[in-house]
Amino acid sequence: MPAPDNGLGLGIETGGTGSRWCLSTSSGAILARGEMEPMTGHVFTQAERDRVSGIFVRLATELAGIGKPAAIVAGVTGLGPESAVRAVFSEILATAFGCREDKILVVDDMWLGYRARFQPGEGIIVYSGTGSIGYHLAADGEIIRAGGRGVLIDDAGSAAWIAAEALRRLLRREDEAPGSGWESALGHALAQALGGASWDAVRTHVYGGDRGSLGLLARAVATAGNAGDTMAADIFTQAGGELARLALALRARVGAKPVALCGRAATLSPLIAQRFQALVAPPIAMDKTQVDVPGCAAGLACELVYANEK
């Protein structure tokens, strides 16, 4: 068992379909890492605050035999730039881990994802996960965004958008020629994911869940695309174009900086990256391997351990 280290930093990356954490020493050695339940910045009810608190208490108990973090950096999805949720998360983390609040930094998950790829001012990231956004962190700390307004308004090119677009097209085909939509490769894949080929199955899944459950249907669209479904292929090509729009919008505002296309939804089909690369001029930095975002957060937490200490 590693000896306790007063310089331990805990990095946390939350998400709507799962969260990850990493504990490291000030020398950069990873002591432990793992996954935990999904969570977002939408801790607007006491019940949700209690749930999130319980998750962190369990993690603190798990880490007790390894070492207590002296600082924590948490990237929280759904956190607005002026969100009061930062204070809520800081308090929850301080209580769960017995950590000083001035050694806890709660940030937008996109800020953390940017820092895992670029130094401030260096580039642009276009992220496609459950939602989508274009993001630039300026050298002076200013955050410049494009998109990221939620699935009800936009989030084009994201997993939720891909799934909604597939259902929209399939059901319109059903309106025009009943049976033709559900009998396609896309229809079979979606029916299997939905648990049925009916409007009731669609309605229950889409309106009875959240954007995360909707986004998971994008995997079925990928299955259909791999089987040669032309509608799925067209959706993925369009998704690549929508993500390219975010990159181009930001380049017009911050200059021709390198662009990193990232997020799991961007890897659902090679057609997404192909269309993106056709529209966005180099330099483009594709994520060839999984970027270690919680590892980056742990490293930043280690820096925070000694910040402003006399």
| Domain hosting residue 235, numbered range | 120-288
17 touches 215 (CB < 8 A): yes
Contacts of 274 (CB under 8 A, 6+ apart): 237, 240
> Does some domain include residue 260?
yes
Q: Are residues 91 and 78 in the same domain?
A: yes
Q: Show the low-confidence residues of the chain (pLDDT under 50).
A: 1-4, 310
Query: 3-state class of 302 per DSSP?
Result: helix
Q: Are residues 36 and 139 in the same domain?
A: no
Q: Any alpha helices (H) in the chain, and if so which ranges?
A: 46-63, 85-97, 109-115, 159-176, 185-194, 199-208, 211-216, 218-226, 230-254, 270-279, 293-305
pLDDT of residue 3: 40
Q: Are residues 219 and 298 in the same domain?
A: no
Tens digit of each residue's pLDDT (9 = 90 or more) over 165-211: 999 999 999 999 998 999 999 999 999 999 999 999 999 999 998 88
pLDDT of residue 169: 97
Q: Are residues 201 and 252 in the same domain?
A: yes
> Does some domain include residue 296?
yes
> Does some domain include residue 29?
yes
The number of angstroms, rounded, from the C-alpha of 12 to the middle of its chain's C-alpha atoms is 13
Q: Are residues 138 and 267 in the same domain?
A: yes
pLDDT of residue 119: 93
Q: Are residues 150 and 91 in the same domain?
A: no
Amino acid at 248: L
Is this model's pTM higher than 0.95 or not? no
pLDDT of residue 79: 77
pLDDT of residue 130: 86
pLDDT of residue 1: 39
> Does some domain include residue 181?
yes
Q: Are residues 95 and 151 in the same domain?
A: no
For residues 216 and 202, give the distance between their C-alpha atoms in angstroms, rounded to a whole number: 13
Q: Are residues 231 and 282 in the same domain?
A: yes
Q: Are residues 33 and 166 in the same domain?
A: no
Number of domain units in the chain:
2
Contacts of 257 (CB under 8 A, 6+ apart): 122, 123, 124, 136, 251
pLDDT of residue 310: 46
For residues 92 and 291, give the distance between their C-alpha atoms in angstroms, rounded to a whole number: 27
What Å distances lie between residue 99 and 4, 70, 157, 172, 205, CA to CA? 15, 6, 39, 54, 40
Contacts of 247 (CB under 8 A, 6+ apart): 124, 126, 134, 259, 261, 276, 280
> Does some domain include residue 83?
yes
> Does some domain include residue 310?
no
For residues 155 and 73, give the distance between their C-alpha atoms in angstroms, rounded to a whole number: 26
Q: Are residues 148 and 84 in the same domain?
A: no
Q: Are residues 126 and 32 in the same domain?
A: no
Q: Are residues 42 and 76 in the same domain?
A: yes
> Does some domain include residue 57?
yes
Domain at 45, CATH number: 3.30.420.40
Query: 3-state class of 19 per DSSP?
Result: strand
> Does some domain include residue 1?
no
pLDDT of residue 81: 61
